Amino acid sequence: MKSSLIAAAAAALTLTASLAQATVINSAYTPLGNDAWLVDFTILNDGTPASFAGFTIDLPNATNLVLVASPSTWDSMVFQPDAGLADDGFFDSFVLDAANSLAAGQSLGGFKVSFTYTAGATPGALPFIINSENFTPLFAGTTTVTAVPEPATALMAAFGLGLLGLRAARTRTADRKTTEVTA
């Protein structure tokens, strides 16, 4: 009994270790307002699996999915969630020509999807599947979320610093006028 548990644990660790070094899909989110989001996916082929032809990313709790951009050498599409089937929406992309597939160490971005996230939730890591040329699943994983700096934050900081500088300049001018009047 104990040896079968150890064997099962060793098998699970072996599978987990091999999955940890597999293809990575990064997702970077940009809020669009009113529970709408834009996600930019970048896929990195680290060589595990050695080759693949496509991928599918589930978008649970997302509605109103719209394909915004996709590399021209890939056929990409979105599928809306189906409440009748209890099916999440998903994004699917497949390379059009095997000559354009990613070699080990290469990455490709520009896969962009906009969507509405239900109940004001914030999107995070998403489940994905890597597929072979004949649509056989090769690997399953979870996207890695990367932070995207909001341009509004930097703009607001610059605007605030500008206002502080303007106030300081006005205070100095007012102090000089007060000094001249009293002198």
pLDDT greater at residue 38 or residue 12: 38
Please state whether the predicted TM-score (pTM) of the whole model is above 0.85: no
- The region of weakest confidence among 13-27, 87-101, 113-127, 140-154 is 13-27
- Residue 47, pLDDT > 70, answer yes
* 64-94 residue pLDDT tens: 999 999 999 999 999 999 888 888 899 999 9
Residue 90: count of CB within 10 angstroms of its CB: 22
Tell me the C-alpha distance between 46 and 144, whole Å.
14
